Homo-oligomer: A and B are copies of this chain.
Amino acid sequence: MSPAPDDCRFLKACRAEPTDVTPVWFMRQAGRYLPEYRALRQKHSLLELCHTPELAARITLQPVERLGVDAAILFADILLPFEPLGLGLSFAAGEGPHITRPIHEATQVLELPRVEPSTDLAYVMDAVRLAARALPPHVPLIGFAGAPFTLASYAIEGGATRSFTLTKRFMYSEPRAWHELMLRLAELVGAYLAAQARAGARALQLFDSWVGCLAPADYATYVFPHSQRALELARAAGVPVIHFGTDTAVFLPDFARAGGDVIGVDWRIPLDVAWERIGPERAIQGNLDPAALLAPLPELEQRVRDVLDRAAGRAGHIFNLGHGVLPETPVEALQRVVDWVHGG
């Protein structure tokens, strides 16, 4: 007899309950490293795949079949809410995202339309429903959204950046407009996550991928209350929430205090040190360097075992990378990692 759905490994670990073996999934496990995904991308643009629930659901399932991971993550892009927000979104070949009408003036913030995710992003909810229905009961679907800071940085920069110059200038120079923007994004993101849970996502992840560009004091002032709000709204949906960021080592206690049943950390901090900082009662997700998957297998195995050793078999560890799977990653490396984490 298969276990009750809530007794699956991944959800138990989210609640910091003991599991038979450590659950594992990979950020961006539905993506470019997979030949079957690349085959679809030959025929469709990234946005077409996102906009078509049948295709998004199919891509969501691909890594579950290939890798034997303990959770599926919805195929989508964190910037999809920019379309109903009227900011405009495109992806040039081989480039990152491009925002057509970035936010450069405080007045633009008040003109942003209200977004109702369950209708304005109905195609995402459809993809969630299709994927959730198709997945085996022991493999929960994770819904996700970008965190207010990470979304604001794209909205202001107009695309990827290394220095976050425009974002920080806006934050320092227009603090009222900044907080208004972050408040609106927090409400949007919270509602978006909750809607995904209602559509069938059994866990949610908030991605604050770029928040580590900030000084700890700036995180506390300009970001913390808004991440807290988004996480609070998401949590009301009644499923576990993972709060993920990179480069958060120094302000990790604050980051954890903002919320999340599970805290996701990157490879810049040893897992045991991170666990100490977020509090040992909290579940933790991470934290292999995605580049380690490009290493020879013995070297990779040693690194996987190091992460597991640092978790020391304690309840509440979800194995993952410290950021998304790199496109150059061999499928076999991910398969082997799943085996090792599952005790092979």
Contact = CB atoms under 8 A, between A and B. Distances in A.
Interface of A: 160, 162-165, 168-169, 172-173, 212, 214-218, 247, 249-250, 267-270, 273, 289-292, 294-296, 299, 306, 326, 328
A164 B169 CA distance: 27
Contacts of A289: 168, 215, 218
Contacts of A172: 291-292, 294-296, 299
Contacts of A295: 168-169, 172-173
Contact of A268 (B160, B247, B299): B247
Given A169-B295, A172-B299, 4 more contacts: A160-B162, A173-B295, A216-B268, A247-B247
Contacts of A249: 249-250
B163 A326 contact: yes
9 contacts: A165-B328, A168-B295, A169-B295, A172-B294, A173-B294, A217-B270, A249-B250, A250-B268, A250-B269
Contacts of A273: 250
Interface centre among A160, A290, A291, A326 (most CB of B within 10 A): A291
A163 B291 contact: yes
